[in-house]
Amino acid sequence: MPSTTEVLLLGPGPSPVSRDTLAAMSQPLLGHLDPEFLAVMDRVQTDLRRLFCTENPFTLPVSGTGSAGMEICLANLVEPGDRVVIGIHGVFGGRMKNLVERLGGEVVEVTAPFGEPLDADAMIAAVRGGPTRLVAFVHAETSTGVLIDPAPIAAAAREVGALCVLDCVTSLGGTRVDIDGWGVDAAFSGTQKCLSVPPGLSPVTFSDRALERIAARERQPSTWYLDVGLLSGYWGDERVYHHTAPVSMIFALQSGLQQLHEEGDEARFERHRHVAAALYRGLEVLGLGCLVPAAWRTPMLTTVALPSDLQNEAGLRAAIRSEHRIEIGGGLGPLKGRVWRIGLMGHGARESSVTRVLVAIGEVLAGSGRDVDVASALAAATG
């Protein structure tokens, strides 16, 4: 029989979900055009605009995960032959490149080693290096834990008349996202990370400039389900049936957004920074460093650089899961086998999470023959 002890989700997502949000998901269903449900949709859109820091009318949760958010942004804004500058400093920038190529766009890559931020000057030079139609990159790269400043890149895009698309999957709800202030034209996120809602929705926002670009397309977007024009009919004032919305998931998102609002955005962001700093201190005492220098780290996701002589990192992670009921993530791409990814996101960004994961890591390292001082690591984390 499986254990009834809840698994503490401290990987790169999904994150722990509060009892209130789970209860919201289990409330009786309403029809997707029921007036009570339409009122919930309105509240969710208002709360998402506040969290994205935008006045964009087209701000809504797409029925699908963060990858659907990526697809709605790029499939609606990229046409065959468009010159698209893609910043790649991790796995998820690479996914945007792949999708743009499938859409017939001409990709110009600007890359950075995994664990380092994009070079803003290199991005700006690429944007200015031709008739750029779109610029896309990741705010907080989930595969590396690197956070970058979107403002200078978005400003360069605007200077040449290009649109800017931003992946905010890991950042939204854990650190400030300022869509209007940065001049970003379209952004997408996911509910399963710092919003602490189960996976299944992708909050997105489109500027008026982006909607004008879509209206001027020579051909309709290749997607029907994620066609912005069709979705506008359902989420806008007309409420034209498009698809059966995942009602229970939207109840859950309403709950997650309400909890965030009650805590306060800045208090939420500071909580993420506080627990991340505690984790860094504890890891250092255990002999584990961070892959990403402090100036570039995402507070909600930490890539732990593993010692080169550490054997069987996957087995150690499995022991943390089986013996301590804690999930942490491994590395992706070139970081596979070299890092662990520890997520302290949303409801899971707690001092108690830091304590539990440090004890678990310390004990499995000790069991593998390494000399570690768990008590000192805990003292450093809580001091």
Q: What is the pTM of this model?
A: 0.96
Domain 8-14+264-382 sits in CATH 3.90.1150.10: yes
From the centroid of its chain, how far is CA 190? 6
Domains in the chain: boundaries = 8-14+264-382, 19-261
At 300, the amino acid letter reads M
**Per-residue confidence in pLDDT tens, the chain, 383 aa:** 355 689 999 999 999 999 999 999 999 999 999 999 999 999 999 999 999 999 999 999 999 999 999 999 999 999 999 999 999 999 999 999 999 999 999 999 999 999 999 999 999 999 999 999 999 999 999 999 999 999 999 999 999 999 999 999 999 999 999 999 999 999 999 999 999 999 999 999 999 999 999 999 999 999 999 999 999 999 998 899 999 999 999 999 999 999 999 999 999 999 999 999 999 999 999 999 999 999 999 999 999 999 999 989 999 999 999 999 999 999 999 999 999 999 999 999 999 999 999 999 999 999 999 999 999 999 999 98
CATH class of 19-261: alpha beta
